[in-house]
Amino acid sequence: GAVVSQHPSRVICKSGTSVKIECRSLDFQATTMFWYRQFPKQSLMLMATSNEGSKATYEQGVEKDKFLINHASLTLSTLTVTSAHPEDSSFYICSASDPNSSYNEQFFGPGTRLTVL
């Protein structure tokens, strides 16, 4: 199947700093990428949908000024958590749709564990 990478896998930062997470589709071009957040023992919550070359579409309740998304190319999307606070500590997962896959399914990255002190 298609491969999606994320970097970094883990990050610890101080409160008030900004953190950038990269999501790359390695062997396919992804016009659409998705960003999710997952708290312990809870499901994946969609934060935003990112389309190459256009502004991201945020889910209700997600602050677009706090979670900046840039989809600069067909293989790269970035999520920047600005002025991070301890409540932003979570597991952030990206996914990418491969239009050439059998079901146009989403392929998930390995996730980024963010801890804000």
Q: Which residues bind other proteins (CB under 8 A)?
A: 1, 4, 32, 34, 42-46, 49, 51, 57, 91, 93, 97, 102-111, 113
Smaller CB distance to other proteins: residue 18 or 104? 104
Task: Pick between residue 20 and residue 108 the one whose CB is nearest to other proteins.
Answer: 108
| Residue 92: both structure tokens together | 């952030």
Of 5, 8, 23, which Cα lies nearest the Cα of 114? 8
If the CB atoms of residues 78 and 106 are measured against other proteins, the closer one turns out to be 106
Distance of closest approach, residue 32 Cβ to other proteins, in angstroms: 5
Least separation in angstroms between CB 83 and other proteins: 26
User: Least separation, in Å, of the C-beta of 65 and other proteins?
Assistant: 22
Q: Which is nearer to other proteins, 100 or 102 (CB)?
A: 102
User: Any bridge partners for residue 51, and if so which?
Assistant: 32
85 contacts 35 by C-beta, under 8 angstroms: no
The residues, any chain, with a CB within 8 Å of residue 21's CB and separated by 6 or more, are 6, 7, 8, 11, 78, 79, 80, 81, 92, 94, 112, 114
